[in-house]
């Protein structure tokens, strides 16, 4: 039996929801992390759901379906690392899901961050997640590196929730 792996798919601008819908319709396991934000227009304010990472949809596929996923309308291609589509570990997808589902404050950055001390979250919604501590100023900023897709997911975690590995 083939093992399905998670990959990031790059989409056309503002096509994330449409691409995710098509992929689900075709029977693929898809994850599109959405966050609620307040948007202001000239005549009103409204809460809207926007993608956490613009132009990215995460899909779990086997090698057999690897190329057929690219036929999805709005899909541009796989996010690559060193010329190959980079599989994303399941624990990183789960950590992102937990962070979004628990409305944790999330900051997305594509800056290169130098490796720091490895830490593990011992309590709270991210319990068991490991990552790099990037700084400790009043609160600890806990970094879950999604290095396979070229982004980093930074979360604020209380100092008492983290231990050094």
Beta strands in 3-160 (DSSP E): 5-11, 29-31, 34-40, 45-51, 56-61, 75-78, 80-81, 84-85, 106-109, 117-121, 130-137, 139-146, 151-157
Q: Domain 5-88: which topology?
A: Alpha-Beta Plaits (3.30.70)
- The pLDDT score that the predictor gives to residue 62 is 94
Total-model pTM = 0.75
State the span(s) of the chain assigned CATH 2.30.30.30: 92-164
**Over the chain (165 residues), what is each successive 10-residue block's mean pLDDT?**
91 96 96 91 89 94 93 94 87 90 78 63 79 63 62 73 76
State the span(s) of the chain assigned CATH 3.30.70.940: 5-88
- The pLDDT score that the predictor gives to residue 78 is 95
Looking at domain 92-164, its CATH architecture is Roll (2.30)
- The pLDDT score that the predictor gives to residue 147 is 58
């Amino acid at each position: 039996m083939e093992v399905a792996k998670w990959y990031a798919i790059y989409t056309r601008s503002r096509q994330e929801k449409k691409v995710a819908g098509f992929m689900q319709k075709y029977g693929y396991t898809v994850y599109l992390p959405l966050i609620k934000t307040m948007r202001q227009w000239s005549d009103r304010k409204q809460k809207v759901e926007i993608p956490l990472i613009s132009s990215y949809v995460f899909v779990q596929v086997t090698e057999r379906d690897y190329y057929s996923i690219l036929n999805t309308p709005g899909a541009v291609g796989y996010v690559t690392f060193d010329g190959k589509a980079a599989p994303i570990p399941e624990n990183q997808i789960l950590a992102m899901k937990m962070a979004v589902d628990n409305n944790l404050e999330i900051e997305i950055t594509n800056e290169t961050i130098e490796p720091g001390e490895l830490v593990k979250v011992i309590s709270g919604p991210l319990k068991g997640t490991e990552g790099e501590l990037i700084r400790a100023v009043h609160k600890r900023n806990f970094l879950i590196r999604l290095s396979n897709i070229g982004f980093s997911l930074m979360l604020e975690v209380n100092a008492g929730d983290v231990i050094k590995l």
